Amino acid sequence: MDSKQFIAAMVLAVLAACSPKTTLTKYHDPDMDFSNIRSVAVMPFLNLTTDRLAAERVRDTFINNLMATGTVYVIPTGEVARGVQRAAIADPTAPAAQDIAKLAAIVKADAVITGVVREYGGVRSGTTSANIISFSLQMHESTTQKIVWTASSTKGGVSMWDRLFGGGGKPMNDVTEAAVNEVIDKLFY
């Protein structure tokens, strides 16, 4: 191997190591016909982060990006909030099966989506910092209350590129959009 090939190999190795951390897991119920889902209610997400607005930001981004696909009608958040009150759901971030059935009947949703935001915001590694998001979603079919789809995504974090050359990673909005779009891409296959 000559010096040009060696340098090219090293550049490729560094670029591969510099890619941001990303993971995605998903589940689709093989017996579910997702074409029957025409409207969804997106519940408030559970927030396990120190940023008190993280769940609202991720939910808002998810709703907007899901609506932009044009594949399903997303029940407006105000209508979902009124449905939660009318159904007397004690914890809308973790509804019981009967709560999902009541809410779906009230707001006329074919499915209810719940979610958990596990990480949101800045992380540090030595002197370098970057933004990270980690969240998961579940879709409950309204008539059976069965979970028919789940997906999770982690995006961002301190990359090798950030460690070597400094920088603060991507803006939080960009990291959030990328993670949300990755999950939406896996929703209906």
Cα 80 to chain centroid, rounded: 19
Residue 114 lies in a domain: yes
pLDDT above 50: residue 8 = no
Q: Give domain status of residue 4, yes or no.
A: no
The domain in which residue 175 lies consists of 20-185
pLDDT in tens, 51-108: 999 999 999 999 999 999 999 999 999 999 999 999 999 999 999 999 999 999 999 9
pLDDT at residue 165 tops 90: no
d(CA 144, CA 22): 33
Does any domain span residue 8?
A: no
Distance of alpha carbon 47 from the chain centroid: 12
- Does residue 12 lie in a domain region? no
How many separate domains does the chain show? 1
Residue 15 lies in a domain: no
- Determine how many CB atoms are found less than 10 A away from the CB of residue 140: 25
Q: How confident is the model at residue 12 (pLDDT cuts 50, 70, 90)?
A: very low
CATH code for position 76 = 3.40.50.10610
Q: What is the pLDDT of the chain when averaged over all its residues?
A: 85
CA triple 90-94-99, angle to 5 deg? 60
C-alpha to C-alpha distance for 138 and 124, rounded to whole angstroms: 30
| pLDDT computed for residue 146 by the predictor | 94
